[in-house]
């Protein structure tokens, strides 16, 4: 099933929550709707699910306008941010609910099958009040999946879980989504989650999609400083184009000169470099990349379970993500003299007009 | 909690403690000392006493059932619907709780009496008036107690996480299923507590009923009449029964509200 939103608007009084949201998710794709809280992400999902009505605009499921189709007939599995398991029903009854209202003949078998798939078989007789957050999440997933939905919607489902449980559930979720090939919209404010899951990403801010595209587009080629800041682009500098030809351009960032691809108009630009794009040079090697700078480590902190984030002063302060083993091998510690280098094609430049 | 004793505060607390006992406990003591316990079973068989107990029980039960029927629907509308003048309906459905009961009875007369707004056309068409009958007493009680059911049910409905209702809808449940499977089970205790309060209030209703009851006597009306003409032994017994019922209702109410927390 494909999903298309076209110019969807929603206001409460004078407060515009959605200001013309449009995007398309192809059959079997997982789209991540990424944005800060209050951007309108939940409202977008609720309108797709049919539990809220848009003021204007269209929602098309498989090309069919679903205006006026009640939520119960849309065939959508919705996993809520707070899980919303029915507190007075057991885990079994929660999962069975959608099958029972459909008068399905194989309730027991289907509930047990899905419970086995998300590994909660032993929880079926418990009440939601008696299980952990991660387990509730699995139950909510099972409850949404068991009705064999055409479309799955997730509203920040991993938000309140701790890191290990999150990473594990993310894997489970992606596995099932790929295996079943269910078109999915996943809402989050966490760009690392977006990278881990998305086929496509839409950045939603203040009720509007400000960029829509493949993860690579969003993360390496943001259309604005706003998107760059939101997607973990740690190195954003204002500079000036000091020389440009077809072969490339030279940008000065307060005197630090960086070579980039492509011809640019002379004037102010914004330079964006991802923290994974910068390499530490081994002392015995010479840089094969176009840009290299000498500097000093200004700070080291862990970043996720397998990475560190290193701050380096090299004319400007750069933030660089490197795997733990590199930190160890190169002895990266505060005060150490280092040389960093980066390819010119890894540098994204926003000209003033676009920024 | 341990608080430092202050002599002035302690003195004040001792005085109010004593006054509290005098005001709240003494009247009950006065009644219990006056009751002719040996005569109780005989007095209970007096036609006037028996009739008032039967009338009170029947009217209060029927009124509570009607209040539940009306109150649940109105609470649902007030909790889940958005419509113009909702606040006005909310206010009107709460008003009887604070309205002086005799004023409530009087305006019921104006509406349903033989010459009343609705009573007059009914009397002309059918030649009957509901006033001064058992129906009138039930009507008065319904008027006074329905707000208790509405209030309790509405807040119980509003306590339900709206995502439960959304989840049920996305899972394919229609409105009737949502009401039966989600809304009512999750608001059961609140509704029960409201119903108990409503019944207790119906049993004790005096001011509004007395205006429309004519010669009929519910227990509270009977106490008034008996006290006025000086047949204290009967009044004592009826008061005793009413206290017993109130106490039981309060006990059940506390039990359910306690469990809810």
Contact B177 A101 (CB under 8 A): yes
What residue ranges define each of the domains in chain A, with the CATH number in brackets? 3-229 (3.40.50.300), 233-351 (2.40.50.100)
What residue ranges define each of the domains in chain B, with the CATH number in brackets? 36-260 (1.10.3720.10)
Question: In this predicted structure, what is the pLDDT of residue A354?
Answer: 46
Nearest to A147 among B169, B172, B177 (CB): B172
Question: In this predicted structure, what is the pLDDT of residue B129?
Answer: 83
pLDDT tens-digit readout, B187-214: 999 999 999 999 999 999 999 999 999 8
Contact B168 A50 (CB under 8 A): no
* Residues of chain A contacting residue B178, judged by C-beta atoms under 8 Å apart: none
Task: Calculate how close chain A gets to B146, using CA atoms only, in Å.
Answer: 28
> A80, A93, A139: best mutation site toward chain B, by most B Cβ within 10 Å?
A80
Contact A351, A267 (CB under 8 A): yes
Question: In this predicted structure, what is the pLDDT of residue A40?
Answer: 94
Please report the sign of the dihedral spanned by the C-alpha atoms of residue B93, residue B99, residue B104, residue B106. negative
pLDDT tens-digit readout, B225-239: 999 999 999 999 999
* Residues of chain B contacting residue A50, judged by C-beta atoms under 8 Å apart: 169-170
Low-confidence ranges of chain A (pLDDT < 70): 352-355
- Would an 8 Å CB–CB cutoff place A80 in contact with chain B? yes
pLDDT tens-digit readout, B44-102: 999 999 999 999 999 999 999 999 999 999 999 999 999 999 999 999 999 999 999 99
Contact B171 A86 (CB under 8 A): no
| Across B139-144, average pLDDT | 96
Q: What is the 3-state secondary structure (H, E, C) of chain A?
A: CCEEEEEEEEEECCEEEEEEEEEEECCCCEEEEECCCCCCHHHHHHHHHCCCCCCEEEEEECCEECCCCCHHHCCEEEECCCCCCCCCCCHHHHHHHHHHHCCCCCHHHHHHHHHHHCCCHHHCCCCHHHCCHHHHHHHHHHHHHCCCCCEEEEECCCCCCCHHHHHHHHHHHHHHHHHHCCEEEEEECCHHHHHHHCCEEEEEECCEEEEEECHHHHHHCCCCHHHHHHCCCCEEEEEEEEEEECCEEEEEECCEEEEECCCCCCCEEEEEECCCCCEECCCCCCCCCCEEEEEEEEEEEEECCCEEEEEEEECEEEEEEEEHHHHHHHCCCCCCEEEEEECHHHCEEEECCCC
Question: In this predicted structure, what is the pLDDT of residue A169?
Answer: 84
Question: In this predicted structure, what is the pLDDT of residue A74?
Answer: 94
Q: Is the pTM of this model over 0.90?
A: no
* Residues of chain A contacting residue B174, judged by C-beta atoms under 8 Å apart: 72, 101
Contact A97 B164 (CB under 8 A): no
What is the number of other CB atoms lying within 10 angstroms of the CB of residue A102?
15
Question: In this predicted structure, what is the pLDDT of residue A353?
Answer: 55
For chain B, what's the residue count? 261
Closest A-chain CA to B177 = A101
pLDDT band at B181 (very low <50, low <70, confident <90, very high): very high
Can you tell me which residue has the tokens 């500097």? Answer: A295
ipTM of the complex: 0.85
Task: Calculate how close chain A gets to B77, using CA atoms only, in Å.
Answer: 18
Contact A87 B186 (CB under 8 A): yes
Contact B173 A101 (CB under 8 A): yes
- Looking at chain B, the whole-number percentage of residues with pLDDT higher than 90 is 80
Could you tell me the two tokens for B124?
A: 């002309």
Contact B53, B217 (CB under 8 A): no
Contact B172 A102 (CB under 8 A): yes
pLDDT tens-digit readout, A251-299: 999 989 999 998 888 889 999 999 999 999 888 888 788 898 999 999 9
* Residues of chain B contacting residue A45, judged by C-beta atoms under 8 Å apart: none
Nearest to B171 among A87, A88, A98 (CB): A98
Task: Calculate how close chain A gets to B43, using CA atoms only, in Å.
Answer: 49
Average pLDDT taken over every residue of chain B: 92
């Amino acid at each position: 099933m494909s999903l298309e939103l076209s110019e969807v608007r929603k206001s409460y009084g004078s407060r515009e929550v959605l200001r013309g949201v449009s995007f398309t998710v192809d059959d079997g794709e997982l789209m991540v709707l990424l944005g800060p809280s209050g951007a309108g992400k939940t409202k977008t999902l609720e309108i797709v699910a049919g539990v809220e009505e848009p003021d204007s605009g269209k929602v098309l499921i498989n090309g069919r306008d679903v205006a006026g189709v009640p939520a119960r007939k849309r065939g959508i599995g919705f996993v809520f941010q707070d899980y919303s398991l029915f507190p007075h029903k057991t885990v079994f009854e929660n999962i069975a609910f959608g099958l029972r209202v459909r008068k399905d003949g194989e309730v027991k078998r289907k509930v047990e099958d899905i419970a086995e798939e998300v590994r909660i078989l032993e929880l079926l007789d418990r009440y939601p009040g008696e299980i952990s957050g991660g387990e509730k999440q699995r139950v909510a997933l099972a409850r949404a999946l068991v009705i064999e939905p055409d479309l799955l919607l997730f509203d920040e489902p991993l938000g309140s879980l701790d890191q290990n449980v999150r990473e594990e559930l993310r894997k489970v979720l992606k596995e099932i989504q790929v295996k079943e090939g269910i078109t999915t919209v996943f809402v989050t404010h966490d760009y690392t989650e977006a990278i881990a899951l998305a086929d496509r990403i839409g950045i939603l801010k203040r009720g509007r999609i400000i960029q829509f595209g493949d993860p690579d587009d969003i993360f390496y080629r943001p259309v604005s400083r706003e998107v760059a800041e939101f997607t973990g682009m740690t190195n954003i500098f204002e500079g000036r184009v000091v020389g440009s030809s077809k072969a490339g351009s030279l940008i000065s960032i307060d005197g630090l000169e960086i070579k980039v691809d492509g011809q640019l108009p002379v004037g102010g630009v914004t330079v964006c470099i991802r923290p994974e794009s910068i390499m530490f040079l081994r002392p015995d090697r010479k840089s094969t990349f176009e840009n290299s700078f000498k500097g000093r480590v200004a700070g080291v902190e862990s970043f996720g379970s397998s990475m560190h984030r290193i701050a380096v002063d090299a004319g400007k302060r750069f933030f660089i993500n490197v795997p733990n083993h590199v930190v160890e091998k190169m002895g990266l510690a505060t005060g150490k003299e280092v040389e960093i280098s980066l390819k010119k094609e890894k540098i994204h430049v926003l000209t003033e007009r676009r920024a | 909690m341990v608080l430092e004793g202050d002599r002035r505060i302690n003195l004040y607390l001792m005085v109010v403690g004593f006054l509290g006992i005098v005001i709240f406990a003494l009247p009950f003591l006065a009644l219990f000392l006056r009751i002719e316990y040996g005569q109780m079973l005989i007095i209970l068989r007096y036609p006037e006493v028996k009739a008032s107990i039967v009338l009170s029980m029947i009217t209060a039960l029927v009124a509570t059932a009607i209040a539940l029927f009306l109150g649940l629907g109105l609470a649902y509308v007030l909790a889940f619907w958005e419509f113009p003048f909702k606040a006005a309906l909310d206010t009107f459905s709460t008003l009887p709780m604070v309205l002086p009961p005799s004023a409530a009875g009087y305006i019921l007369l104006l509406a349903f009496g033989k010459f009343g707004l609705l009573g007059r056309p009914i009397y002309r068409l059918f030649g009957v008036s509901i006033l001064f009958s058992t129906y009138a007493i039930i009507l008065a009680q319904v008027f006074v107690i329905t707000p208790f059911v509405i209030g309790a049910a509405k807040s119980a409905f509003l306590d339900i996480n709206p995502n439960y209702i959304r989840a049920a809808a996305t899972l394919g449940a229609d409105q009737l299923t949502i009401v039966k499977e989600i809304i009512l089970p999750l608001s059961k205790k609140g509704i029960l507590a409201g119903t108990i309060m409503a019944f207790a209030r119906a049993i004790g209703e005096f001011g509004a009923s007395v205006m429309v009851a004519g010669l009929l006597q519910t227990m509270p009306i009977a106490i008034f009449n008996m006290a006025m003409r000086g047949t204290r032994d009967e009044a004592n017994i009826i008061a005793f029964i009413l206290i017993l019922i109130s106490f039981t209702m309060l006990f059940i109410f506390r039990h359910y509200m306690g469990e809810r927390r």
